[in-house]
Structure 1
Amino acid sequence: MFFLRVMLRIRSLFYLISYKTLYQNKFNFNQLILLGRMFKLEIIGRESRVVFQGKFYCRNNIYIVAENGNVSIGDNVFFNNGVSICSMKKVHIGKNTALGENVKIYDQDHVFNKPGDMYKQGYKTEAVTIGENVWIGSNVTILKGVTIGNNSVIAAGSVVTKDIGNDIIYMDKREPTMKKIKRKNN
């Protein structure tokens, strides 16, 4: 067990040195953070930043991308396997927060109601803020513009599209719906 902990620290140090060398002042951390296998960080754009404000531990297959956006992760935060964050504006995660497996956080949505190629229509962005001492269950998706209050729990499988206050247990029991896309001509 001791050997595995030493190897985890060496691997984490390798990741940190590599990303600090590559991204310089766009990537900041205050202390050694422990990173599992397949930790991937992409920082794209002049104003983009990724900041770890304290202790951080994650398992495997973590993907964080700041594309013209900022990601801020508080002290004592944990990510389980498969967490993905994509920021084109701002994502903030407060201290003492835990994310379950396969949590996805997006601070943008695709624009899709214009004629023409879907992938060329652009994005709408709004910041995502997750408070302190929050537990987010497995397979949760958090979408743009959401604020989750302190001491809240998000149940596994939920899709969060609206703000959640402090001290709330949120469960999303969705029913399937289909709507026709209404195209707008410019």
Structure 2
Amino acid sequence: MEDCTATTKTVYFAIKRLDQNEEEPSVVLPVALGEDDKVPEVTQIVRDKLGINSSDLILRLRNFRGSLIPMNGKVTQLSNTHSRPLVLEVVRHFQSVQPNPISFELTQYAEPLTRKLQDVEDRISLLEDSIGNIHLNRKDKVHQEISKLENTVNFLRKRIEEAELIEWNGMFVKNPLW
């Protein structure tokens, strides 16, 4: 912050304590801010000036038209005087609205979800039933594979025996006609 003193400007905030049920701004507070200050820095400076240590309180900054603006160093570029300050509202969480309990109902998805759930439950029950018979199924599968291999070996053995019985009788069976 020492090297930013050349770009430090005074910004005036009219403090409106909505957390204490104040309707109008009570005091105008001058705060020195740097143009390059980020939101956490500006927020901490303002909290220190106001003596607000509670993280439950929220700071909302409004311009002279009442629009919300970001609370960063760019507020130093706004035209702002003691007679025309920015409005800083201090509010509690959910002070403006009453939050509803977290609940949602997806009526259009209820039926497909129940069908998918039932399908998953059916698949799980089939798996649970087949666990008891898994060693029998595995044994049957091994026997089938062994019998296929035996058939293949027998076939190859017959072909090799047939090939061994063939004798070489020479190159030509008939006399050549040349």
TM-score (structure 1 length as normaliser)? 0.19
TM-score (structure 2 length as normaliser)? 0.20
Relative to its length, the structure with more helix (as a share) is: 2
Name the larger-Rg structure: 2
Relative to its length, the structure with more strand (as a share) is: 1
Q: Which has the higher contact order (CA 8 A, sep 6+)?
A: 2
